[in-house]
Amino acid sequence: MNSPVKSSPLTLLMSGGPSETITRLKSFLVAGNEITLSQPGSDSGSVFEVIYCGVTLRLAVNPDVPDLVGLKQIFCNIDAASLGCAMEIGLGDHVAGGERVPSIIQAVLGAGQKLGVSCGASGAVWHPAGIVSGFDYFSEVVADYLAGGAFPVLAMVNFKAEDDGTIISTGLSLLSGQELQVAAAELNQDEIMRRVVRVAHDVAVNGPVYSPVKLAGIEPDEIVELDPSSDSGLLKMNTYFRPAA
């Protein structure tokens, strides 16, 4: 998909065609909602500059839908043939490169949630992690996060198991500058993921870990060890249990 918006991390998959989506988008923007045009009449064809929560965003309605093949699907059952267009959401020039600021990412997510509801989105693609989510799920977890709940890790961070049993994240570096590398031989993959999601939430919300640290785990006598590597950009995570006395 050729993108009219540079570095758009979020794309909404729309059920309607470009003309219908643009009409619905314009109606939403002029209705006095929380998302407003940066200047009256600033929309140009299919590209719009808007302001939400003090953050300038650029929206583009693109007749080309991104290729969903190879993306990780989260609560998603989308027939690509049923999609009419895509709405890309990227950062405006004044905040470009600000993805590590939680309030900026919150603005992107919040705008995506509101626009998707208003304009009839079927799904959401978070490009930094290569994840496509069903829009109902995306909307729910984003709304929960913005209301003070957990960071929507599963919709925004991808995890892949390597041949040696370690797990590597993708997408976390956009938010923190670090990706997780996880080794936890004493636990199965489901147990590992419970801990990984917790750590990914902390890093995405609070920023990178600069020094080695040991944290209390989920279970009694459990230790979560985090060891950052400045050379590789990896945050190495290991979970183990304190030996019995």
Reported as a single tens digit per residue, the pLDDT across 106-118 is: 999 999 999 999 9
- For the chain, which ranges sit under pLDDT 70? 1-7, 39-44, 184-186, 244-245
Establish if 151 belongs to a structural domain. no
Does 223 lie in the same domain as 178? yes
Does 232 lie in the same domain as 117? no
Establish if 2 belongs to a structural domain. no
Does 222 lie in the same domain as 171? yes
Does 201 lie in the same domain as 81? no
* 63 neighbors 159 (Cβ within 8 angstroms): no
**Residue bearing tokens 């603005």:** 107
**pLDDT computed for residue 97 by the predictor:** 74
Does 188 lie in the same domain as 138? no
Does 34 lie in the same domain as 90? yes
Establish if 116 belongs to a structural domain. yes
**pLDDT computed for residue 244 by the predictor:** 63
Establish if 1 belongs to a structural domain. no
What is the C-alpha to C-alpha distance for residues 78 and 55, in angstroms, rounded to an integer?
A: 30
> DSSP H helical segments within 97-180, as ranges?
102-119, 135-146, 153-156, 172-176
> Which of 105, 125, 146 represents a domain boundary (last residue)?
146
**pLDDT computed for residue 93 by the predictor:** 82
**pLDDT computed for residue 31 by the predictor:** 84
Establish if 235 belongs to a structural domain. yes
> Which of 115, 146, 177 represents a domain boundary (last residue)?
146
**pLDDT computed for residue 45 by the predictor:** 81
Tokens of 243: 């030996």
> Which of 97, 121, 146 represents a domain boundary (last residue)?
146
Does 171 lie in the same domain as 100? no
Does 170 lie in the same domain as 129? no
Establish if 33 belongs to a structural domain. yes
Does 19 lie in the same domain as 102? yes
Does 177 lie in the same domain as 75? no
Which H/E stretch holds residue 190? Answer: helix 189-206
Does 101 lie in the same domain as 140? yes
Q: Report the b/e string of 55-94 with b at 16+ CB within 10 A.
A: bbbbbbbbeebbeeeebbebbbebeeeebbbbbbbbbbee
State pTM to two decimals.
Answer: 0.90
**pLDDT computed for residue 18 by the predictor:** 96
* Domain range for 234: 158-241
Establish if 70 belongs to a structural domain. yes
Domain total in the chain: 2
Establish if 230 belongs to a structural domain. yes
What is the C-alpha to C-alpha distance for residues 135 and 60, in angstroms, rounded to an integer?
A: 18
Does 201 lie in the same domain as 138? no
